[in-house]
A and B are shown apart, each in its own frame.
Chain A
């Protein structure tokens, strides 16, 4: 099931730790997350940073399909999805198109797959600072 395909209008916060970052590049971001509230927060954060969330998916199959359809610049993926997992989804996506991914997961045991261009792994619950920095680094091309 695909959630929030369309852009969600966000509110900019004045909290110093929730800064909206003017990124040099407006990225298309695909979110793989099966917890709706977490997905919502991620979406808000990314949009606050100036990027566009092109799709939010909760299954492996949807992830691969949406990746083909929307051609994202960045993927933020939870490892455990409602059906399948984020790592396998990325393996399949990477087979067609190289996309950087930030894995955000409660999963401790993460073995990097050389096939996938993993930019970052962030443990849940994530600190906003960590995510923000990771995204900025990737978009700027240093990730």
Chain B
């Protein structure tokens, strides 16, 4: 909408500006041509006057006043020029001696007229009289006069002609110039109007000032939004004391402007009317969109709060579960230890202690889960580190045995982590317990490698004392071996023991497979 308003506003301004320019062009050109036109007409008129003046040189007034041939000749002259009304011959007293108006010559005296007086004083050349009502014709007119001189230069009289204003009126009126300019012919002497043509209506323009002395000029609007100043071009008619003035009234410009721009308003209005519901809709839509967006954001915020709360709840729940598990494991541990303390049998005590150790291995998994905030998956490398620290501490082999853990970034879900960690606990415990007797130092190396088809291989090898002679993992009846075998099955794995360089435990497994791997 705004675009249309801006475009239309510019168009409106530009339109008026163009009209002003057009008015200036029109008035300027018209003034030029009409001045030229007047020049030619009056030059022609002057020739008629000269011819008439020549014609009367020969004889005296009395003779002349009866000369029919002269009258015919003068008549011919006046008829030739449509703008010449009549030719008049006045003697030195002002009396009318002959006129093309009628024959016999009607009595008339021009001695009070400016055209006569001006020539009587001195030779005024071609004199333009002021606007008068012809005494004989009763029509408004003005006269051009020339002096009639005797051979000795004395004043003999005046030859004059009346200009047919009708001619100019109809001529100027016929021009049909745009913006209906007012065309004025004025006397340079006093600026009085000789003829003024304004189209139809009452004259919209007051008399416009003519600066003295200038041959041509123009006044125009001071700016596009000037609602009063007319556009006025004037030009002096060459060799004659006459000015042609062409002026366009401001109202005409405004009228034309409105006439032209109303179409824009109609179009804009129509477009606006078409667009108005659209823009109203657009505005409403935008408001609705904003509302919806706010609503959506609110809902997202609420949902996020809910999810965060739910997540927090879940986390709390997990932590609670882990906490309870650890408490339960503590109870079990305490029970086992109490039992061990009660038992006097060394083997029993040791067995119970092993159980306690296994419980500790399991609880370590939970501890890791609990602390890592993962809640479901166990970081194998971290677990192995902590388990080996605990075992080192338990077996007192710190500084004696080094443990290298090379399992990469392996993570296992809880149901795989428990069996895996218990297996490692068994193997490592054995290594610490039997692999380095009598303070023997060495290294235990734990590796986990990815193999084909989702299988992985866990290897725990040491450079210690090695397995006891005749050791057979498959047939081993000790609880430890049984635990390892059954847990390996849980992982789809196959455990093996080798005796190089120390004891090497190897297990290829895939917890996601149905059947255990072949060794």
Contacts and interface: CB of A to CB of B under 8 A. Distances in A.
Contacts, number: 78
A17 interface: yes
B201 to A, nearest CB: 99
A125 B365 CA distance: 12
Interface stretch (B334-342, B465-473, B492-500): B334-342
B326 A15 contact: no
Interface residues of B, number: 31
B349 A124 contact: no
Contacts of A106: 322-327, 330
Given A107-B323, A124-B327, A125-B360, A40 B334 contact: yes
The SS class assigned to the B binding surface is helix
Interface in A65-97: 80
Contact of A125 (B319, B323, B329, B371): B329
A40 B319 CA distance: 26
A115 B209 CA distance: 105
B370 A15 contact: no
Most buried by B among A13, A41, A44, A106: A106
B349 A13 contact: yes
A34 B250 CA distance: 106
A51 to B, nearest CB: 16
Given A35-B327, A125-B326, A41 B353 contact: no
A126 B341 contact: no
Contacts of A129: 393-394
B363 interface: yes
B216 interface: no
Nearest to A39: B334
Contacts of B342: 11
Contacts of B335: 37
A106 B321 CA distance: 10
Nearest to A15: B349
Contacts of A41: 334, 337-338
Contacts of B340: 13, 15, 18
B359 interface: yes
B367 interface: yes
Nearest to B335: A37
Interface string A112-143: 00000000000111111100000000000000
Most buried by A among B322, B324, B337, B370: B337
A62 B360 CA distance: 31
Considering the complex of A and B, which 3 residue pairs feature the smallest CB-CB distances, nearest first? A106-B326, A41-B334, A125-B330
26 contacts: A11-B342, A13-B349, A17-B394, A37-B331, A37-B334, A38-B331, A44-B341, A80-B323, A80-B327, A106-B324, A106-B326, A106-B330, A108-B319, A108-B323, A108-B367, A109-B319, A123-B326, A124-B326, A124-B329, A125-B326, A125-B329, A125-B360, A125-B363, A126-B330, A127-B390, A127-B394
Given A106-B326, A108-B322, A129-B394, 16 more contacts: A10-B341, A13-B341, A15-B341, A18-B340, A18-B341, A41-B334, A44-B341, A106-B323, A106-B330, A123-B367, A124-B329, A125-B326, A125-B329, A127-B390, A128-B337, A129-B393
Interface of B: 319, 322-327, 329-335, 337-338, 340-342, 346, 349, 353, 359-360, 363, 367, 370-371, 390, 393-394
Interface of A: 10-11, 13-15, 17-18, 35, 37-38, 40-41, 44, 80, 106-109, 123-129
